[in-house]
Structure formats: C-alpha cells, structure tokens
Amino acid sequence: MSSAQTETHGSGSSAPGARGRTAQRPRSWVLRIGGRQPIGTLFVTPYLVYLAAIFVYPLGFAVWISFHDYFFTAPGATVDRPFVGLENYTNVLTDPEVWRSFGNIAVFLVINVPLTVVGSLVLASALNKKLPFRSFFRTAYYIPYVTASVAVVGVWIFLFNTNGLVNKALGPLAPDPSWLVNSHLAMPTIAVFVAWKQLGFFIVLYLSALQNVPNELYESAALDGAGKFRVFWSITLPAVRPATLLVLVLATVTGANLFTEPYLLTSGGGPDGATTSPVLLMYQRGLQQGHPDEASAIGVILVVLICAISLVYRRFLEKD
C-alpha cells in the first residue's frame, strides 16, 4: 500500500517537471529567435528589412565596387569588371582634390559641431523654463529645420551675396570678396548656416532630456546656495550626457554627408573647390565623370572615419 502510494506520489511529482520541461522547450526556442519580447521583435522586423534594403545592401555593394574596376553600362549589358584590389583606394588617397575635400569637411565639423551642441543646449535650457511666448519660440526655432533647403538657401544667398543685406549692414567692414565667394569664409559660412538650420531638431532632443531631470535636484542646489553656472555645470550637463552623445554623433554624421548646401550656395563646391565636401566629390566623380569605383572608395573611407569619430565620442562621454 505504501509502495503504491510512493509510486503515485513519485509519478505525480515527476509529471509536473516533465510537463514543465515540455512547456519550456517551445518557449526557449522562441526566446532564442525573438528575444525576451518576441512580439516587439515581430513589430521591429519590417524596419530591420528596411534597414537591410536601404542601408546594409548599398553599403556592401559600395564596398564591392571599391575593389573592382566598375563603370556604368547600358541596362542589360554584360561586361567584365575585374578585381583591382586597393588600386581605387591608392588613386583617391594620392589625389590632392580628395585630401582637400576631407580638409574642407574637417573645417566644417570643427565649426559646426561645437556650435550645434552649445547653441542647442543653451537654447533648450532657456526654453525649458517658464518664459513668455515659450511655445512661439519653440516653434520658431524648429521651422527652419522642416523648411525646404532650397527655400532657406535662397534666403541666405539674398543675405550673404555681394550686395546682400549683411554686407550693406557692415558697410566698409564687409569682406571682399564676399562671404560665399571667399575661399576662406565660404565653408565657415556654410557651417553656420547648417547649424542654424538644424538647431531646432537638436533643441527638441535636449528638451526631452531636460524634462526628465528631477526638479528636486535644482531645488536642493538652490537651498545650498549654488549659482546658475554651478547648477548648469553640476546638474544639467551630467543629466543630458546621453543626449549630448546623440547630438554629437548626429551632427557629425550630418556634417560628414554635406552635399546640398555647398551644391546650392556655392554652385557646386566653389570658389575653386574651397567648399567641396567628400559627398559632393563622390557625386562629381561617380555620376559626372563616370568613375563610381573611385567614388565608392571615397565613401568607404568616409564611413570608416565617421565610425572612428563616433567611437571617440562614446569613449569620452560615457566615462563614469
């Protein structure tokens, strides 16, 4: 009788374990494929497909082109595109025009990125407070970002051309040659223009970060007698560090992909190539001159440099 009960209890105790193991098998398989949130993974899948089709495949194809003697042909034509190794990279790295384009974009980033980060953070801190007409100012700063580039470029040409309003206001202090036809001032002018145009977007990023900072921190600092600069340095800056990393990376990526502004403001990289960016040079080499292999090599080098700069940002800003 006791042995029967023992068998009964043994079978009863082992059955739930067996059922648990049986039930866990499909769950572990789902976790391996879909992660802890398979429904979320399912919803993200269309975007992953979009990334693969729009970004991953073109980047991989560009890398392939950069190692081959590639040229455009008529649709349906079959031609030999032999592997040339590092020949395209050697050609572009020994080309003074390529080096000058990277130097131009370095000047642009040195001016544009700090101006974007500092300007958007200061303005976001001001707009985060209770100010009269705060909604109006928030909208006003965001409008240039959503306005068509061609329309905004037309306004800046009207302001900064030889007979523009800026030169008339400066009078004898106006530069000669003027801003956009001056080889020393053209790229800094474009850098300021891009910072002004995109400022509204980065202000929104900083505003979302600032609104997550607890007010108790500011109240405690006020009770301790901390000044405005001390509060900004000790509370605001550390609190928005992740947003600062995002702004730095986005501003750098956007600046490195500079194309529309020099193409429209300086008629394609003038004066004398002073505003030619790597992306604009890729367009000229690949489409206008028929050398997509060299253009792809320039693009791969640009991607590697952007990734390296982004890693440097992350290393310095994510330190405890």
Q: What is the mean pLDDT of the chain?
A: 85
pTM beyond cutoff 0.85: no
Residue 1 has pLDDT above 50, yes or no: no
d(CA 17, CA 152): 69
Whether pLDDT at 21 is above 90: no
- Confidence grade of residue 30 (pLDDT, cut at 50, 70, 90): low
Tally of CB atoms within 10 A around 247: 24
Among residues 287, 244, 249, the alpha carbon closest in space to that of 268 is found at: 287
What is the model's pLDDT at position 300?
Answer: 95
Q: How far is the C-alpha of 108 from the C-alpha of 100, rounded, in Å?
A: 12
Distance of CA 232 to the CA centre of its chain: 26
User: Stretch 264-269: mean pLDDT, rounded?
Assistant: 88
Across 60-77, average pLDDT: 88
What pLDDT band is residue 22 in, cutting at 50, 70 and 90?
Answer: very low
**Least confident interval from 51-55, 76-80, 294-298, 309-313:** 76-80
Give CA separation, 49 vs 32, 45, 46, 57, 199, in Å: 19, 6, 5, 10, 31
30 vs 43: CA distance, rounded Å: 15
Task: Work out the pLDDT band at 211, boundaries 50, 70, 90.
Answer: confident
Instruction: Find the mean pLDDT for residues 144-161.
Output: 87
Average the pLDDT over each of 37-46, 118-127, 169-178, 179-188 and give the range with the smallest value. Answer: 37-46
In percent, the amount of the chain with pLDDT more than 70 equals 88
Residue 318: pLDDT over 50: yes
Is residue 273's pLDDT more than 60? Answer: yes
CA dist 28 and 35 (Å) reads 9
The CA distance from 163 to 144, in Å, is: 24
Looking at residue 226, what is its pLDDT?
Answer: 79
Alpha carbons 280 and 302: distance in angstroms, whole number: 12
**pLDDT per position as a tens digit, 290-309:** 899 999 999 999 999 999 99
Q: Cα(244)–Cα(117) distance, rounded to whole angstroms?
A: 7
For 216-236, how does the pLDDT look when each residue is reduced to its tens digit (9 = 90+)? 888 888 887 778 888 888 888
Select the highest-mean-pLDDT range: 7-11, 150-154, 216-220, 283-287. 283-287
Q: Are 201 and 90 in contact (CB under 8 A)?
A: no
Is residue 248 within 8 A of residue 318, CB to CB? The reply is: no
DSSP 83: B
φ and ψ of 93, to 5 deg: -75, -15
Separation between Cα atoms, residue 191 and residue 187, nearest integer Å: 6
Peptide bond into 144 cis (omega under 30): no
Kindly state the average pLDDT of the residues 272-279.
Answer: 92
Q: Which of 68-82, 97-111, 156-170 has the highest mean pLDDT?
A: 97-111
How confident is residue 73, by pLDDT bands cut at 50, 70 and 90?
Answer: confident
**For 169-201, how does the pLDDT look when each residue is reduced to its tens digit (9 = 90+)?**
999 898 988 899 999 999 999 999 999 999 999
Average pLDDT rounded to a whole number, residues 61-69:
93
Asked if pLDDT for residue 33 goes beyond 90, the answer is no
> How far apart are the C-alpha atoms of 67 and 87, rounded to whole Å?
8
The structure tokens 């891009």 sit at 194
Is pLDDT at 150 greater than 90 in this prediction?
A: no
In terms of phi and psi (left: phi > 0; alpha: psi -120 to 50; beta: otherwise), the region of 319 is beta
The SS3 call for residue 273 is coil
Q: Which residue has the tokens 């455009």?
A: 72
